Structure 1
Amino acid sequence: MPTTTTRAEKHQKRWREIVADPSLQELPHKVETNQRGQIVLSPHKNRHSVAQEQIQGLLDEHAPDGLQPTEFAIATAGGVKVADVIWMSPGRWEHMQETGDPSTLAPEICVEVMSESNDWDEMHSKRTLYLDAGAEEVWVVTEEGAVRFFADEEMEASEILPEFPEHV
């Protein structure tokens, strides 16, 4: 019986090739892939890193039983995307590990921090990819620090972590 490979699994395979390539080690950029498996580089910004740390700290404060790593790779149908911060329950992490590395199952919450190098069209695209990969919520933090919460549509607050602040 023939097996079929999903687009996310193809991107997962391509990601393993990228990670294994010695010439791509130690790049001073965030690395993702697009829908064709091509490498997309984004330079690191200090403000962006500080926002990630602040979000991670708030997630730890409001949901200490979960895991909240930064720069977390997720194999989606549109390439491997690297969420700035994620939150996942320990049970979700177990299921995610079963799908390989990078996971083809998204964590419960994916957070993206806006910068001058991206726009709302890109955020909408990433939001759709994360939700299609199984995320329950996607949060977008604006350059001003406002947190916008999304599931199928924008929400007033997170349904998973309703006490999370609206501003970072």
Structure 2
Amino acid sequence: MNWAAICKDPTLENLPYKIETNRKGQIVMSPASNEHGIYQSLISSMLFNLKTGGIVISECSILTGDGVKVADVAWLSEQFFKKHRKKTPYQVAPELCVEIISPSNTVNEMLEKTDLYLAKGAKEVWILNAKGEIHFFDNSGKIKKSALFPNFPKKISY
């Protein structure tokens, strides 16, 4: 099943799961908790307030070397958005992809997603762990802070 068909399938609407695909096009689902949603909202609003220009979106679908993955939050520059607009999934990753670890995720899964997003053109990938700590990555590996959003905190709490 391709991504467009998945998005149009009425039986897959309003699920309490995040849907992605693997490289074979098979649907992979992972449950999201309310805490996950809270962090997603907090990160989105903080990014919106820190950056002039660009677009912050949640649930950003990206075609990777291992199927369609969905970044929990993404920031797209105006240039990226003008070029790619409303394509679904994006064939390249936006500049920033953020993943929030859910109880069903492993650190290795998140590191694999980091590599997939960077390979598709992301400038940075952030991983937020269960303690609210953010780990920043770029093509060189783990970095101390974001170059795109240098004032973004290393920990979020609510």
Same fold (TM over 0.5): yes
Matches within 5 A, 1:136-151: 136-151=123-138
Aligned to 1:165: 153
Q: Is the 8 A contact 1:96 1:107 kept in 2?
A: no
Q: Is the 8 A contact 2:19 2:29 kept in 1?
A: yes
Relative to the length of structure 2, the TM-score reads 0.92
Structure 2 spans left out of the alignment, 5+ residues: none
Cα distance in 1 between the residues matched to 2:88 and 2:102: 27
Cα distance in 1 between the residues matched to 2:68 and 2:115: 13
Deviation per CA, 1:34-91: give whole Å up to 9, x if none: 1111101111210000000110111012113121111111111211101000011111
Q: Secondary structure in 1 aligned to 2:4? A: helix
Cα distance in 2 between the residues matched to 1:14 and 1:31: 12
**Counterpart of 2:43 in structure 1: which amino acid?**
I
Aligned to 2:26: 38
Q: Is the 8 A contact 1:96 1:106 kept in 2?
A: no
Aligned to 2:13: 25
Normalized per residue, the structure richer in helix is: 1
**Counterpart of 2:102 in structure 1: which amino acid?**
S
Q: Is the 8 A contact 2:32 2:102 kept in 1?
A: no
Relative to the length of structure 1, the TM-score reads 0.87
Aligned to 2:2: 14
Matches within 5 A, 1:64-103: 64-97=52-85, 100-103=87-90
- Aligned-pair identity (%): 41
Cα distance in 2 between the residues matched to 1:26 and 1:116: 21
RMSD across aligned positions (CA): 1.4
**Counterpart of 2:114 in structure 1: which amino acid?**
R
Q: Secondary structure in 1 aligned to 2:109? A: helix
**Counterpart of 2:36 in structure 1: which amino acid?**
H
Q: Is the 8 A contact 1:36 1:79 kept in 2?
A: yes
Q: Secondary structure in 1 aligned to 2:152? A: coil
Normalized per residue, the structure richer in strand is: 2
Cα distance in 2 between the residues matched to 1:157 and 1:60: 18
Q: Is the 8 A contact 2:64 2:120 kept in 1?
A: yes
**Counterpart of 2:12 in structure 1: which amino acid?**
L
Q: Say whether residues 1:119 and 2:106 are aligned partners.
A: yes
Q: Is the 8 A contact 2:54 2:81 kept in 1?
A: no
Aligned to 1:10: none
Number of residue pairs aligned between Structure 1 and Structure 2: 155
